[in-house]
Amino acid sequence: MLGAAGIDRDKKIVVYDDTTASWGSAGRVFWMLEYLGCRDVHILNGGWGKWSAENRSMQTTAVTLPAATFTPQLNAAAKTDSAHIATRLFDNDFAVIDTRTDEEYLGWQLYGETRGGHIPKAVNIPYGWFYNSDKTTLSYTALKSLLESHGITPDKEVTAHCTAGIRSGYAYFLLRLMGYTRCSNYDASIWDWAGNTSYPMEKAPNYATAVYPAWVKALIDYHKPGSTSAAPPWWSTRTAASSPPGSGGS
């Protein structure tokens, strides 16, 4: 497919996406190309949104390049799997970045995984934190501060994951950009880890009842949540004049 598109491992390749409507797909493509052995891959900072906002040149017809010969040369270090993570998980020089939202990390929001929560010891740096408000990547200084404040330092082997390896592909790109020499993408991600019940997972307390933020907000506001089975014990006996325990009201 890549050869038919005119791509070979020695070409300079620039990848972009619409950063306002993707989960870091440019990063996923970057990772895939590096895994296949491409030597000179880049991502357009700000993506299509910034390019078009600056009124740069555009083409509305398909681009066709002469076919090339693409011979993969796998970069095995760019990809990791659950067995390697399970073996290395509690080593001091190993770190896992979970790039999902905090709701996913805590087990409140599931996107097809069989268990909610996160890999033990994984630090949560949601994918959106890597961007400025205009969807350009954070500066070197800001990225360095963000990573190191979460214990992600260049002396460690670092792997990133998300739900299925897309958001974490962008984290892999940033680690490479920052000069981390031992970094990888766990592309099978939480779908794979959660599917193997021999692997441990951690989740927020009361995960089984407080399954999404709206439930928590409803609870705080004393409005009945959408799921009656998740209602607090005092709800069924609550009257118009009563208040939840500890509220001090009448």
Indicate which residue of 162, 175, 183, 230 is catalytic. 162
Alpha helix (H) ranges present in the chain?
Answer: 25-35, 47-53, 82-88, 102-106, 140-149, 167-177, 189-195, 213-220
Q: Which pLDDT belongs to residue 205?
A: 67
Structure tokens that stand for 210 in this block = 């407080």
Q: State the amino acid at position 86 in one-letter form.
A: A
Identical fold for domains 12-76 and 77-195, yes or no, is yes
pTM (predicted TM-score):
0.81
- For the chain, the residue count is 250
26 class by beta-carbon count within 10 Å (0-12 exposed, 13-18 middle, 19+ buried): buried
All structural domains of the chain with their residue ranges: 12-76, 77-195, 210-250
What class, spelled out in words, does domain 12-76 have in CATH? alpha beta
User: 100 and 190 in contact (C-beta within 8 Å)?
Assistant: yes
Coil, strand or helix: which one is 86? helix
Q: Would you give the DSSP letter of residue 128?
A: G
What's the pLDDT at 23?
82
Walking along the chain (250 residues) 10 residues at a time, the average pLDDT comes out as 94 92 90 97 95 95 94 97 97 98 89 93 96 94 97 98 96 98 98 96 69 60 46 41 39
Query: What class, spelled out in words, does domain 77-195 have in CATH?
Result: alpha beta
Active site residue 162: yes
